[in-house]
Amino acid sequence: MAFLAKVSKALTIAGSDCGGGAGIQADLKTFQELGAYGMSVITAVTAQNTLGVQGVYPMEAAAVIRQLDSIGEDLTPDAIKTGMLFSAEIIQAVSAKVKQYGWKNLVIDPVMVAKGGSSLLQQEAIQSLIKHLIPLALVTTPNIPEAELLTRMPIRTLHDREEAAKRIIQMGSQYVVIKGGHDTGKDGIIDLVYDGGHFAYMESKRIDTQHTHGTGCTYSAAVTAELASGKTVDEAVRTAKGFIQAAIEDQLSIGGGHGPTNHFAYQRRMRGAATGPQRFLQ
Ligand SMILES: Nc1ncnc2c1ncn2[C@@H]1O[C@H](COP(=O)(O)OP(=O)(O)OP(=O)(O)O)[C@@H](O)[C@H]1O
Ligand SMILES: Cc1ncc(COP(=O)(O)O)c(N)n1
Average pLDDT rounded to a whole number, residues 233-256: 97
Give the whole-angstrom CA distance, residue 22 versus residue 93.
23
Ligand nearest to the backbone CA of 14: 2
pLDDT band at 186 (very low <50, low <70, confident <90, very high): low
Query: 161 pLDDT exceeds 70?
Result: yes
> Which pLDDT score, from 0 to 100, does residue 277 have?
46
The whole-angstrom separation of Cα 163 and Cα 161 is 5
Residue to mutate (ligand 1; options 189, 201, 239, 266; most atoms within 8 A of CB): 189
Mean of pLDDT values over 69-94: 97
- Checking if the pLDDT of 278 tops 60, the result is no
Mean pLDDT of 226-234: 98
Task: Check if 43 is active-site.
Answer: no
ipTM, interface predicted TM-score of the complex: 0.96
Do 129 and 171 touch, CB atoms closer than 8 A? no
- Residue 123 predicted with pLDDT over 90: no
Q: Which of 21, 83, 216, 259 is labelled catalytic?
A: 216
Q: Is 214 a catalytic residue?
A: yes
Atom number, ligand 1, closest to the C-alpha of residue 212: 8
Q: State how far the Cα of 35 lies from the Cα of 278, in Å rounded to an integer.
A: 20
Q: What confidence score (pLDDT) does residue 280 get?
A: 41
Contact 87, 125 (CB under 8 A): yes
Mean of the per-residue pLDDT values for the chain? Answer: 94
Query: Which pLDDT band holds residue 216 (cuts at 50, 70, 90)?
Result: very high
Q: Take atom 2 of ligand 2 and give the residue whose Cα is closest.
A: 23
In the set 212, 218, 224, 261, the catalytic residue is: 212
Q: How confident is the model at residue 117 (pLDDT cuts 50, 70, 90)?
A: confident
Spatial CA neighbour of 134 closest among 99, 110, 104, 162 = 110
Q: What is the C-alpha radius of gyration for the chain, rounded to an integer number of angstroms? A: 18
pLDDT for the residue numbered 250: 96
Residues 6+ apart with CB under 8 A from 279: none
Q: CA-CA-CA-CA torsion for 225, 167, 121, 235, nearest 10 degrees?
A: -10
Q: How far is the CA of 181 from the centre of ligand 1 (A)?
A: 4
Residue 185 scores a pLDDT above 80: no
According to the model, what pLDDT value does residue 33 have?
A: 98
Using a 6 Å CB cutoff, which residues line ligand 1?
Answer: 22, 115, 143, 179-182, 189, 191, 204, 206-207, 212, 214-217, 219, 241, 244, 248
CA-angle at 108, arms to 103 and 110, nearest 5°? 150
In the chain, the domains with their CATH numbers are 9-281 (3.40.1190.20)
Distance between Cα 249 and ligand 1 center (Å)? 12
pTM: predicted TM-score of the whole model, two decimal places:
0.95
How large is the average pLDDT for residues 108-121?
Answer: 89
Per-residue model confidence (pLDDT) at position 116: 80
Taking the CA of 191 as reference, the closest ligand is 1
Would you say residue 46 has pLDDT above 50? yes
| Over residues 205-219, mean pLDDT | 95
Contact 26, 220 (CB under 8 A): no
For residue 1, what pLDDT is reported?
67
At 159, the pLDDT band (50, 70, 90 cuts) reads very high
Distance of CA 123 to CAs 15, 235, 253, Å? Answer: 17, 34, 34
